[in-house]
A and B are shown apart, each in its own frame.
Chain A
Amino acid sequence: MDIELILKVYPYFLKAAVITVELSVLTIVLGLICGALGAASRLSRFAILRFIGAAYVSFFRGTPALIQLFLLYFGGPQIGIQLDAFQAGVIGLGVNIGAYMTETMRGAIVAVDRGQTEAARTLGLSKAQAFRKVTLPQALRLMIRPLGVNINAQIKGTALVSAISVVELTYTAQRYIGSTYKPFEMFFLAGVLYLIIITAVGKGVSFLDRKVRIQ
C-alpha cells in the first residue's frame, strides 16, 4: 500500500468527506420530515391520505434509489425540473430515505400498547392530547434505534450521488484513481472515512437511546 500517496491526497478526501456529511445531514433532515408526514398519512383516518402514504412508500421502496436519482436529475429537465447535481442528490435521497423512515415511525407508533391510548382517553384526553402526551413520547423512544439503522444506510447511500457527479467521497476516490491508477489506496481511504462517520453517528444514536430509555 502506498502510504505516501494516501498522506498526499487525504486532505482532498477530507474535504470530500465534508460534502458527504453535508449530504447526509440534509437528506436525513428531509427524510425525517418526509417520514413524519408519511407516517401521519399512513395512520390518518382519511382513506385518501392513507392511500397517498402507502403509494409513496411502495414507490420509493420498490424502485432502486439510483433510478430515482437518474429520473430526477436526468429526466427532471424534460418535465421542467432544473436542479443542480447536489440539489438533486439531496432531494432524491431525502425523499427516498423518507419512505423507509415512514415505515420506521409508523411501526414505532403502532407498537405502543393500545391500552396506553385507552387509559389516556378514559381520563378524558382527546385523541390529539392522548397522542401528544402518551403515545408519541413512547413511540419516539422506540424509534431511535431503527431510525439509527435508516440513518446508517443513508450515510452509505450518499455514495450513489457520485453517479450524478456530486463531488463527495466516492466520486473523489474515483477521480483520484483516474490520475493515480491506485484503486486500492483510494477506495481504502474513502472506506476508512465512511467508517469514521458511521461509527461516530452510531455512538450518538446509542447515547441518545440510553438517555431516553424508559427505566
Chain B
Amino acid sequence: MTETKSFVEIRHAQKSYGTLEVLKDISLNVERGQIVAIIGPSGSGKSTLLRAINDLDPLTGGEVWLDGVQVNKNLPHNQYEKHINQMRQDIGMVFQHFNLFPHLSVRDNVTMAPKLLKKISDKEANKLAEEQLDHVGMLERIDYYPAQLSGGQKQRVAIARALAMKPKLMLFDEATSALDPELVEEVNLVMKKLAQEHMTMIIVTHEMDFAASVCDRVLFMDKGVVVEEGPPEQVFKNPTQERTRNFLRKHLEGAK
C-alpha cells in the first residue's frame, strides 16, 4: 500500500448496483482544514460519494483514507465493525433531514454518543452539551425536544451533536436543502463559523453562493464522474466543460 499524503484521500472510488454504475473511478484529495463542495445534478452520485467516506454506502471498489488510516479496510466482519465504529467517531455527518433523535432532549441528543462511546461523566457531558450548543447558538433550547424546534434550529442541534464527538472531518449532505428559505442563513452561518475554525469539511450542496463564499475547492459531478474541479472562482466563473456550464446555467435560471 502506498503512503497517504493528504488528510482525506479517496482513491479510485467505484460503486455499482448490479449493472448500474453510480460512481466511476473517482479520486479526491482533501487537505487538513480545507473545505470542498460537491455540486451536480441529482442522481450524479454526489451524495453516494459523501456517504462512502464514512462507509454508510460502502464502495464496491477503491479506498477511502483519513489521516493515514484506511476507512474501508478489508477486515473480517466483527473486526471491521469495531474498526468502522472507531473511524466514524472521527467523521461527523449532517443530514438533509437532520435525523435528530425525537425521543431525546436537545441535551441528550448531543451527549448520548459521547457518554456511551467515550465514557465521560454526566458532569462532563453537560459541560460538553452546553459548549457545543452555545457554539451553534442553541444553548437556550437545551432542554427542548426536537419536535419543538424549527428546521434551522434542528439542523444546528444536529451539527452540535456531530461536533460533540470532536470529529476530524465533517460531512454535510445537503444540510440546508430541506429548510425553508428564511432558515437557510442561520445554518450557513454556523457552517461558516466552522470554516473559520479550520474544520475540514466536505459539503454536498445546491447552494452555489454558499459554495463560492466558503469553499476552497468545488467539484462538479455528473453521472458518476467528476466533470470539473477547481477553485470556486474558476468553476463558477470560467467553467471549462460544457456540462458544467449547462448545469450552472440551469441552476441560475432555477434560482430566479
For residue A183, give the distance in angstroms from its CB to the closest CB of chain B. Answer: 51
Q: With A133-B112, A214-B145, A214-B147 as given contacts, are A122 and B88 in contact (CB-CB < 8 Å)?
A: yes
For residue A143, give the distance in angstroms from its CB to the closest CB of chain B. Answer: 14
For residue B108, give the distance in angstroms from its CB to the closest CB of chain A. Answer: 10
Chain A positions within 8 Å of B180 at CB level: none
Would B89 and A215 count as touching, CB distance under 8 A?
Answer: no
**Restricting to B94-144, which residues have a CB under 8 Å from any CB of A?**
95, 97, 99-103, 112-113, 116-117
For residue A137, give the distance in angstroms from its CB to the closest CB of chain B. Answer: 5
Q: With A124-B85, A215-B145, A215-B147 as given contacts, are A129 and B101 in contact (CB-CB < 8 Å)?
A: no
Q: With A115-B95, A118-B95, A214-B145 as given contacts, are A125 and B101 in contact (CB-CB < 8 Å)?
A: no
- The tally of residues in B whose CB lies under 8 Å from a CB in A reads 28
A98 to B101, CA, bound (A): 29
Q: Does B54 contact A (CB under 8 A)?
A: yes
Q: Does B204 contact A (CB under 8 A)?
A: no
Chain A positions within 8 Å of B91 at CB level: 122
Q: Does B81 contact A (CB under 8 A)?
A: yes
Would B95 and A123 count as touching, CB distance under 8 A?
Answer: no
**Restricting to A46-74, which residues have a CB under 8 Å from any CB of B?**
none
For residue B208, give the distance in angstroms from its CB to the closest CB of chain A. Answer: 26
Chain A positions within 8 Å of B147 at CB level: 214-215
In addition to A123-B112, A124-B85, A125-B113, 12 A-B residue pairs with Cβ atoms within 8 Å of each other are A113-B99, A115-B99, A118-B95, A121-B85, A121-B88, A122-B54, A124-B89, A124-B113, A125-B116, A133-B116, A137-B103, A215-B147
Would you give 20 A-B contacts (Cβ < 8 Å), ordered by A?
Answer: A113-B99, A115-B99, A118-B56, A118-B99, A119-B93, A119-B101, A120-B113, A121-B85, A122-B92, A122-B162, A123-B165, A124-B89, A124-B117, A125-B113, A126-B81, A127-B81, A137-B103, A141-B103, A214-B102, A214-B103
